[in-house]
Structure 1
């Protein structure tokens, strides 16, 4: 396995390549169905390039757009070819299975997968590995993690715990009145982040402190609608947990429409540049930064290394989490939004 250069240097390299990557991604997505021609058993293409598959949870979530762009850029740097596919929505396990089957048929050397469901892809992953394809999970683990060759991902329980610990401290002793905005029922990440939040906040699933909860599919508009519906039942809340930044944006809009912005503290997870700017502007108080460029780059590098010398990657690697806020609390390490804007999604 190759070693990453320092993360800031690598992030800078990625930003310099981002323009070219953006132009390539559209063609990859449109042409993916026809990318299997001329492949060899070694996972190369007719031109001798290593062929790598990527399956994300969705095409449109900014987090996965960034991860895909970084994977394209890393493949270009390695003179490899990336085929990028995605589920139709967060939680589309069948779509991810179909995408993996297509990649297996196309003769890729490795598949990078962000699994929506930790157990839903196990048989397809096993078939890919049986055929000698390296399978690497990004962003989310399978259940068990050993189902893939390696995982480069956020510790999502830790990310949820950081959000929960911050929001509880921000109450400064006031009784908690919480709205929970999750992803989808069968999402491993949604379960892990919720679990971590509850631990960090110091409550349980059946706590009376939870005044309302809803699934949002991790998307802004459903989150805004869900928050509005919950506020119809009670506006006596002071804390909002959100699964990610699109959901936090939707919740913030609903709070603003009710005049509750100054009364309610919203936390989130992602750490995208737009999300950091939202923290700076006061739409929500804090976010937990992830590093999808790091995940994608390490995944691509590992497949290229495997193609060159037959050495598969292995094990679970935590790619890091950092709490970002301009309103720090005692006892909890954080960085401000100036730092966040220099490192967002690096």
Structure 2
């Protein structure tokens, strides 16, 4: 009996070890497979959903493994810190990140880079921008300028009463778009034509609440700038409830398919379209090149922005919603 028990125990250990080894091989796709990380602000915003799809497609094409993570909401730095640490521990060659808190994430990024990990910011630059090896992004200042110029032309002959529905304090992408819009309008912060400013975190429900608050504060608002299209739709809902949707113009940034359809239907007058698929694809390709020959991506790569509207202003380069729908995401 003792001999049979010993033999059975030995076979169990051997079989268990073999199964364990097989399971480990399946989980990481092979120990020699290059790993790349993608960390987005959230996994619910259509912009970041499309970015993840683009990264996965590029990773599959290159034969590399993509690890993904996201914050619980826009502004959730703690989850992004944990994700960077976990990915570094898992042995990624590079990490692509859309930083939620552009300053607070920097020490964590520095630690990753010190361990030889290539770090690329997508969509949103860190502060300072050179805290990452490279940036693949929309020129967010230009995106704001384009819709500001459009609004200025469309408001000709009218005194603007502006509500700005922004992102959150200190988040670079929000600051750049806000400042660009004002630049395009020929205004500065503090101008009396800006009658209300509210933060939305880029969320539709918060955009609606912000617009309701602004209408209470300044019922004569006739122009609304929104950080993105979800907040634009929230603003439109609030305006419609007050019967103001026809006489208040909304301009925005993003160029998602829902947003372009909003331009087509007249809910949004114009939007600056950006291209998250391109950001993600180029980011993956850069990490793959780094893994192959050590070449590091550096500096800023502009992934493009286009003003989309069906009611163009004279002298401004625009595309219509047919182009927008052909190039949208979400």
Query: What's the TM-score once normalised by structure 2's chain length?
Result: 0.90
Cross-structure match for 2:100: 116
Distance 1:172 1:266 in 2: 15
Given that residues 305 and 311 in structure 1 are in contact (C-alpha distance below 8 angstroms), is that contact kept between their aligned partners in structure 2?
A: yes
Q: Is residue 231 of structure 1 aligned with residue 215 of structure 2?
A: yes
Over 3 Å counting, the alpha-carbon distance change for 1:49 and 1:272 in structure 2 is same
- Structure 1 residue 333, shift from structure 2 partner: 0.8
Shift of 1:91: 1.2
Stretches of 4+ moved more than 4 A in 1? none
Q: Is the 8 A contact 1:160 1:192 kept in 2?
A: yes
Deviations along 1:299-322, one digit per CA (max 9) or x if unpaired, are 011111111111111111111110
1:101 and 2:88 correspond: no
Distance (whole Å) between structure 1 residues aligned to residue 306 and residue 110 of structure 2:
33
Q: 1:136 is matched with which residue: 120, 123, 134?
A: 120
Structure 1 residues 162-198: Cα deviation after superposition (integer angstroms, max 9, x where no partner)? 1111111110221110001001113111111111111
1:216 paired residue among 181, 191, 200: 200
**Which of 143, 151, 154 is residue 138 of structure 2 equivalent to?**
154
- Whether 1:197 and 2:196 are equivalent positions in the alignment is no
Q: Secondary structure at the match of 2:201?
A: coil
Cα distance in 2 for residues equivalent to 1:234 and 1:118:
32
Deviation at 1:38, TM superposition (A): 6.9
Give 2:109's aligned residue.
125
Where structure 2 has 5 or more consecutive residues not aligned to the other structure, the ranges are 1-23
User: For the residues of structure 1 that align with 2:316 and 2:34, how far apart are their CA atoms?
Assistant: 44
The answer to whether the aligner puts 1:170 opposite 2:154 as a matched pair is: yes
CA distance in 1, matches of 2:327, 2:38: 24
Query: Is the 8 Å Cα contact of residues 91 and 186 (structure 1) preserved in structure 2?
Result: no
Report the counterpart of residue 299 of structure 2 in structure 1: 315
Structure of greater Rg:
2
SS class of match (2:244): coil
User: Any idea what SS the aligned residue of 2:170 has?
Assistant: coil
Residue 40 of structure 2, aligned match among 56, 61, 71: 56
Aligned residue pairs, count: 306
Uncovered stretches (5+) of structure 1, i.e. residues with no partner: 1-36
RMSD of equivalent CA atoms? 1.6
Structure 1 position 115, deviation (Å):
1.1
The 3-state SS of whatever aligns with 1:174 is: coil
The one-character-per-residue Cα deviations of 1:42-76 (angstroms, maximum 9, x if unpaired) are: xx863422111111011111111110111111111
Q: Is the 8 A contact 1:289 1:345 kept in 2?
A: no
